[in-house]
């Protein structure tokens, strides 16, 4: 089962757009819901007024499960919805009961986060498995979202649990990031040992990069900042987990670099 949630865990909608992409390119069917009333604050996850088949209706926030047929040998169950506001433990147990009923053995949560990385390089993807008890001093410590809670709950309940997170350049704002969606899709395919259809994601990612290139060319300070990130990322060509000492150093050096614009050295 693959799970993605909108909101804090979903920078530029890169994670939930993986689910939408899979639903678009493969045969799928809706197979279940977690209804909304116990889990959402409607002032932060508001219901939407929509027109469906000519009739006005209110669509409430909810989590939906789908079955997706990838090929004759591979079926996926996916879970998507807004991050719940309340009762996370109960929400995760309901999600895992659904996975158990579908005879799922592996649970993969996916997310996206804003980070100090350059759009001109492969966007970093971090992996974690289960509860990461062996992560040691390099383990991430800080705020978490529902994907991490679900990942830990799945590991504790005996599922093979893994989490994938893609980093999105924070200087590009909140528009959809096809490059981030593509990177997550590629990593999912690698983890599943299954080639997943990319559709037009590659061409969308190229358009995203071209737009970012234009933005950088129009701003000298931003151009310097991106070149700075490139140099830091090129120090270690391996992909960077956001919790590693290298990436923490990247953030610290980038903050110092940006402060230099506010406090230029005296001539």
Q: CA–CA separation, 181 vs 25, rounded Å?
A: 14
Q: CA–CA separation, 25 vs 1, rounded Å?
A: 17
pLDDT given for residue 255 in this prediction: 53
Q: What is the CATH number of the domain that holds 46?
A: 3.40.50.10900
Does residue 267 lie in a domain region?
Answer: no
Does residue 117 lie in a domain region?
Answer: yes
For the beta carbon of residue 63, count every other beta carbon within 10 angstroms. 24
Number of domains in the chain: 1
Longest dimension (CA), the chain: 69
Does residue 233 lie in a domain region?
Answer: yes
Name the band, by pLDDT with cuts 50, 70 and 90, for residue 173: confident
Does residue 36 lie in a domain region?
Answer: yes
Query: pTM of the entire structure?
Result: 0.84
Q: CA–CA separation, 85 vs 146, rounded Å?
A: 9
The mean pLDDT of the chain is: 86
Outline where the chain has alpha helix (H): 16-25, 88-101, 146-156, 178-192, 201-217, 220-234, 245-262
Span 10-36, average pLDDT = 94
Span 36-55, average pLDDT = 87
Q: CA–CA separation, 191 vs 183, rounded Å?
A: 12
For the beta carbon of residue 124, count every other beta carbon within 10 angstroms. 21
Residue span of the structural domain in which 101 resides: 2-262
């Amino acid at each position: 089962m693959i799970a993605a949630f909108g909101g804090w865990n979903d920078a530029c909608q890169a994670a939930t757009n993986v689910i939408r992409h899979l639903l678009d390119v493969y045969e799928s069917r809706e197979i279940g819901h977690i209804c909304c009333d116990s889990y959402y604050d409607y002032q932060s996850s508001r219901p939407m007024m929509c027109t469906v088949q000519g009739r006005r209706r209110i669509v409430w926030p909810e989590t939906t499960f789908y079955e997706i047929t990838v090929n004759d040998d591979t079926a996926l169950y996916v879970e998507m919805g807004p991050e719940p506001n309340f009762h996370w433990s109960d929400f995760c147990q309901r999600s895992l009961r659904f996975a158990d009923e579908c005879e799922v053995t592996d649970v993969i949560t996916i997310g996206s986060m804003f980070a100090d990385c350059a759009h001109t390089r492969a966007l970093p993807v971090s992996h974690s498995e289960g509860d990461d008890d062996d992560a040691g001093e390099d383990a991430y410590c800080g705020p978490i979202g529902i994907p991490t809670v679900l990942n830990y709950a799945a590991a504790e309940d005996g599922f093979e649990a893994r989490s994938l997170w893609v980093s999105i350049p924070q200087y590009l704002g909140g528009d959809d990031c096809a490059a981030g969606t593509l990177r997550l899709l590629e990593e999912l395919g690698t983890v599943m040992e299954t080639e997943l259809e990319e559709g037009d994601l590659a061409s969308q990612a190229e358009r995203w990069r071209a737009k970012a290139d234009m933005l950088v060319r129009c701003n000298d300070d931003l151009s310097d900042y991106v070149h700075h990130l490139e140099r830091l990322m090129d120090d270690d060509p391996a992909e960077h987990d956001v919790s590693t000492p290298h990436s923490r150093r990247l953030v610290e050096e980038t903050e110092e670099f940006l402060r230099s614009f506010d406090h230029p050295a005296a001539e």
